[in-house]
């Protein structure tokens, strides 16, 4: 009897394995889209199509990393050009993977044509904005008027550094460390100021006003001293030296403009730089005894509260009528301790800008170190250093 049981065990195991195979085959052969006329698309075909898509995505990521590693090793290669090649390669590989997945899934071309027609109708209605942003993104990649690393300013007062140009939107990081996603179509159809498109040196104009009767040569001296105190002013030369312009005679002030050229690092921080120059202008004008005016009006008082002349004026000042202004108790002036005054006298905008520039320099140095480390650890590095192709 034991021999009979032992002989029956393999047959039962084989039968169970066969049933399992039949069950798995039934599941993989099930066509959930048969009701839609897509009976050839089974569960197994859908799993295979998903595997193809995953493989295409992995290959795309590996290729993008290889391109980035090549850009880190090659100093003379244009980084924006490498970024464009990387993004286009990603789009091409994903498209090829999608088409291959459709083929593996068993979707016939006639059904795909119907599907493409449905997509076309959708583009005409709900997907129009998405398609417009995609095409605009391709235009930005090929046009090269906007590239990663540029400092841009949009119509809606968004200013920042371009971090990435994606399929739908462009990522901009402002100087306040705020990430803003801007649709690509806004860069194509709207007005965009690119502060770093050509040369990295930019000139800003800082308006200020002084009281009438002030010597304009003294004003110029004070303004140039203020410009020299800001460390982001470009070194003096014939073409890009700081200048002081008298531009208008206003209602209450003579209006000037301090025009200064900025260093390459400071050109990306327009608002903070302007605040730094205004701070130094206020300090320099006060040091030279130059008055910064404000709108004034003359009031001729005939009578008030049943009083006239000096008595009415005294009542408005909160004094007893008939008393001279000099008899009023002197108001104590608020004074600050010397240490606190020295702390408050620092130019916060200038300090923040210098700190941000130093952080950018450290990040750039860190990226170079990471690229060199990756280069040293990559296969074929020894051959590349010996002049051999890697």
pLDDT in tens, 187-220: 888 888 887 777 667 888 999 999 999 998 999 9
Residue 170 pLDDT > 80, yes or no? yes
Whole-number Å distance between alpha carbons of 315 and 278: 39
Q: How many CB atoms lie within 10 A of CB 360?
A: 13
The answer to whether residue 2 scores a pLDDT higher than 90 is no
Which pLDDT score is estimated for 85? 76
Query: In the structure, what pLDDT confidence band is assigned to residue 118 with cuts at 50, 70 and 90?
Result: low
pLDDT band at residue 280, thresholds of 50, 70 and 90? very high
Residue in 346, 323, 345, 349 with CA at minimum distance from that of residue 336: 345
- 258 pLDDT band, cuts 50/70/90, is very high
Query: 14 pLDDT exceeds 70?
Result: no
Q: Is the pLDDT of residue 382 over 50?
A: no
Q: What is the mean pLDDT of residues 10-32?
A: 52
Interval 123-139 mean pLDDT: 74
State the Cα–Cα distance between residues 92 and 103, nearest whole angstrom.
Answer: 17
Assign 308 a pLDDT band (cuts: 50, 70, 90).
low
The pLDDT of residue 284 is above 60: yes
Is residue 237 within 8 Å of residue 281, measured between CB atoms? no
- Per-residue confidence band for 304, with pLDDT thresholds at 50, 70 and 90: low
Confidence of residue 325 (pLDDT cuts 50, 70, 90): very low
Average pLDDT of span 28-34 = 49
Extents of the domains making up the chain: 32-126, 144-194, 203-287
Interstrand relation of 254-261 and 203-210 (parallel, antiparallel or unpaired) = antiparallel
The pLDDT tens digits of the residues spanning 92-107 come to 888 888 888 877 777 6
Question: What per-residue confidence (pLDDT) applies to 192?
Answer: 87
Q: What are phi and psi of 284, to 5 degrees?
A: -65, -40
pLDDT of residue 285: 94
- 126 against 86, higher pLDDT: 86
Question: Which range, of 15-29, 152-166, 236-250, 296-310, averages the lowest pLDDT?
Answer: 15-29
Measured distance CA(384)–CA(390) in Å, rounded:
5
265 pLDDT band, cuts 50/70/90, is: confident
> Between 3.30.70.600, 3.60.60.10, 3.40.190.10, 1.10.287.1260, what CATH number should domain 32-126 receive?
1.10.287.1260
pTM (2 d.p.): 0.53
Examine the pLDDT at 151 and tell me if it is beyond 80.
yes
> Does pLDDT of 371 surpass 80?
no
Residue 251 has pLDDT above 50, yes or no: yes
Chain-wide mean pLDDT for the chain?
Answer: 73
Which residues have a Cβ under 8 Å from the Cβ of 30 and sit 6 or more positions away?
42, 43
In CATH, what class is 203-287? Answer: alpha beta
> pLDDT tier at 227 (50, 70, 90 boundaries)?
very high
Residue 386's pLDDT is: 41
At residue 319, does pLDDT exceed 70?
no
Q: How far is CA 183 from CA 6, 129, 178, 192, 268, in A?
A: 72, 9, 16, 13, 22
**318 has a pLDDT exceeding 60:** yes
**List of residues 6+ apart from 237 with CB closer than 8 A:** none
Specify the fold of 144-194: SH3 type barrels. (2.30.30)
CA 262 to CA 232: how far, in whole Å?
A: 6
Phi, psi of 164, deg, nearest 5:
-160, 145
Residue 128 or residue 94, greater confidence: 94
pLDDT given at position 252: 86
């Amino acid at each position: 009897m034991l021999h009979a049981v032992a002989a029956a065990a393999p047959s039962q195991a084989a039968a169970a394995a066969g049933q399992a195979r039949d069950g798995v085959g039934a599941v993989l052969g099930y066509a959930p889209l048969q009701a839609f006329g897509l009976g050839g698309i089974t569960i197994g075909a859908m799993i295979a199509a998903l595997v193809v898509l995953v493989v295409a995505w992995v290959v795309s990521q590996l290729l993008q990393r290889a391109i980035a590693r090549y850009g880190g090793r090659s100093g003379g290669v244009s980084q924006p050009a490498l970024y464009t090649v990387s993004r286009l390669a990603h789009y091409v590989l994903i498209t090829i993977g999608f088409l291959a997945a459709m083929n593996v899934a068993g979707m016939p071309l006639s059904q795909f044509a119907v599907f493409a027609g449905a997509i076309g109708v959708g583009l005409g209605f709900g997907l129009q904005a998405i398609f417009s942003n995609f095409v605009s993104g391709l235009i930005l990649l090929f046009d090269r008027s906007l590239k990663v690393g540029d400092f841009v300013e949009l119509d809606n007062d968004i200013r920042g550094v371009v971090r990435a140009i994606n399929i739908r939107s462009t990522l901009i990081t402002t100087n306040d460390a705020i990430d803003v996603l801007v649709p690509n179509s806004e860069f194509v159809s709207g007005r965009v100021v690119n502060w770093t498109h050509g040369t990295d040196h930019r000139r800003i104009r800082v308006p200020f006003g002084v009281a009438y009767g002030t010597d304009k040569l003294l004003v110029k001296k004070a303004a140039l001293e203020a410009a020299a105190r800001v460390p982001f002013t470009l070194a003096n030369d014939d073409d890009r030296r700081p200048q002081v312009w008298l531009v208008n005679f206003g209602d209450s002030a003579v209006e000037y403009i301090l025009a200064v050229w900025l260093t390459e690092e400071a050109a990306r921080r327009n608002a903070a730089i302007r605040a730094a120059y205004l701070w130094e202008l206020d300090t320099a004008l006060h040091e030279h005894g130059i008055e910064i005016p404000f709108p004034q009006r003359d009031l001729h008082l005939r009578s008030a509260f049943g009083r006239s002349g000096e008595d009415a004026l005294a009542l408005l000042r909160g004094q007893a009528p008939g008393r001279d202004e000099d008899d009023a108790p002197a108001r104590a002036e608020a004074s600050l301790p010397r240490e606190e005054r020295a702390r408050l006298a620092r130019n916060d905008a200038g300090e923040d800008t210098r700190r941000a520039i130093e952080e950018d320099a450290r990040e750039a140095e860190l990226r170079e170190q990471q690229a060199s480390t990756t280069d040293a650890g990559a296969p074929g590095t020894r051959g590349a250093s010996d002049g051999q192709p890697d």
